[in-house]
Structure formats: C-alpha cells, structure tokens
Amino acid sequence: MNDDLTMSTPPDADYSKALAEGWQPIREVARITGVNAVTLRAWERRYGLIIPHRTAKGHRLFSAEHILRIRHILTWLNRGVAVSQVKPLLDSLPAFREPAGNDWQAWRQALTLAIAELSERRLDDNFNQLMSMYPAHTLCEQLLIPLLSELEQRWQGQFGAQMERVFFSSWMRSKLGARIYHNNRSLKGPPVLLINHSTKHFEAQLWLTAWLVSSSHYPVEVFDAPLPNGELALAVERLKSPAVVLYSSQTLNLQQLPKLLNAMDCPILIAGPTVCIHSVELAVCTTEIPGLFLAIDPLDAHQRLSQLGLF
C-alpha cells in the first residue's frame, strides 16, 4: 500500500514535492482526524468516500479539502448514519436529514446473538469488521453504549444472564485491552490513570473511556480494581499521571472523598452513574475542590479530558 513513511527506500520526487506544497500523508491525516489509516483505506476502497491523490509509487496524499470531507463524514456517522449511506449525503445541503434507516440496530442484534450463543469468533469477526469502517468515538456512541444498555435490560432476571455477562466481559476486556496495549507501545509520556472505583469486577464503560483516550493517541493505564486512598495517590505520583479518572456505577464514600482528591496533584475526573447518584453532593465538591470534574458516560469523559488539553 506504500503508505508507511518508515520504508527503507527514499520517497519519490512527486511525494517530496507534494509534501512541500502542503499535502498530508495518511499517518498525519489519521493523527489530525482521529480516523486510523485502516479505516481511511476502507472508506476509499469499499465506499469511495475519500479519493486521495496518489504519487507514482502509490503513496496516498490528502489535501485540506480531503480532511474537511473526512470531518463531514464523521459528522454524519455521529448522527447515526451507516457508513454505506454517507456518500450521497456528503454533497447535499448542510441541513441534517434523518436517513431512511441505518444498520446500527442490526449490528447490535448480531452482537447480542453472538453473545447469547457464546460465539467468540463471530463476536470478534463482527467487531473487527466494524473497527475497519468506523472510528472509536462513533462505535462507542452508536454501537457499544446502546448495546451495553440493551444487554443490561436483557440480563435482568434471565436464566443464563451471568454466563453471558461473564463471557462478554472477558471478551471485551481482552479486546480493548489488546488495542490499548498496542497503542501504548507506540506512545510516549506519562499515562492517564483510569481506575475502577466500584466493587464490580468489571466496568465496561471504564474500558470504553480508556479506549477513547487511547484512540486519541494518549497513553493510558487501567487499574481494574479500587485502591486504598493512600495507594491511589502513590500510583499517581509514580506514574506522573496528568489526569485521573475514577469510574464507578455505585455509591461513593463521600466523607472520604475530599481527603482522597486533595492527595492527588492533578486533575481528577469522577465518571459513571455515581455522578447521577450523588449529583447534588458532587456538584458542591466541584466548587470546593479545584481540578475536580464530572462525567456521566465515556463520551462525556473523553470530552472533559480533551478540554483539559490532553489531546
């Protein structure tokens, strides 16, 4: 595909000239837009959404107009339009038109069926296909967060619910953990620290938050269990974390919270349903404790961290 700039042979003259004229290589476009190179190639080959300039040796190069078009694609995807339905909308009027239908519900049903049948291969194949077409933010918003809500409803009082829950949790931790590990290997700097601050053995939305941060090219460290207050501050000190995310879907010990938060010398984000449970008390805490922020879900948490200037 000739898009890797670490190739052993020098780039062709057309490539160097284009870079000097302001064209961008695919890896830089991926960094700018948050859409990885695999997805950009899929959008080109399978859907004709982006047609980059090609040099004589096959290097893809993108103009400012291409980058703007990618952002328009993301706008439609984040509104719930399936990638297969985006192309005819790109040159339409800017006003949003509700599409006749999209396939997100069908994808959620396919994943739910794979979970019900404990079919790890089918679950993995479906998700791999989706990751090749959509960026992490879109998958979280349109697929995974709604899927988690639907699964929680499905698992209320159903025989076999715990079996499905454990199966899906194990798969999800392995899948997202592998992606995060791979990204961390190519990133430098101290990581954002994300901690499961509840008694649940697995908090899916904590891992979604970690994946979103990692997909924004920032290293992350996930502690999938709570720490004693003193050790939490010690972990922040040793990792030199620029921010901490405390995620919980349960009640917090609010009496210990000020001491815990004051012990950490970095911005702190409390995230998850616990923010709704303690909405009044935590709102007061944000006015009394500098550097304390709140987020309800992974998308909100990612936005808050972005506002801190991390990405």
Question: In the prediction, which pLDDT does 2 show?
Answer: 61
Check for a shared fold between 13-90 and 187-307: no
Residue 287 backbone dihedrals phi, psi, to 5 degrees: -85, -20
Residue at 283: amino acid letter? A
310: its two tokens: 């991390």
Fold of the domain spanning 187-307:
Rossmann fold (3.40.50)
Rounded Cα gap, residues 219 and 225, in angstroms: 19
pLDDT value at residue 223: 96
- Determine the Cα–Cα distance for residues 264 and 268; give it in Å rounded to an integer: 8
Q: Which helix (H) or strand (E) holds 293?
A: strand 292-295
Dist CA 24 CA 280 (whole Å): 48
Q: Is the dihedral of CA 263, 267, 273, 276 positive or negative?
A: positive
Confidence at residue 11, expressed as pLDDT on a 0 to 100 scale: 57
> Does the CA dihedral 106-112-113-115 come out positive or negative?
positive
Rounded to whole angstroms, the Cα distance separating 12 from 29 reads 20
- Alpha carbons within 13 angstroms on the beta-carbon side of residue 112 total 19
- Residue 302 near residue 277, CB atoms below 8 Å: no
Residues 47, 40 contacting (CB under 8 angstroms): no
Q: What is the mean pLDDT of each run of 10 residues along the chain (311 residues)?
A: 52 78 92 92 95 89 92 84 87 50 87 98 97 95 94 87 96 96 94 93 95 96 90 93 94 82 88 89 88 94 93 77
- For the chain, which residues make up each domain, given as ranges? 13-90, 104-181, 187-307
Task: State residue 1's pLDDT score.
Answer: 55
Class for the domain spanning 13-90: mainly alpha
pTM for the full predicted model: 0.83
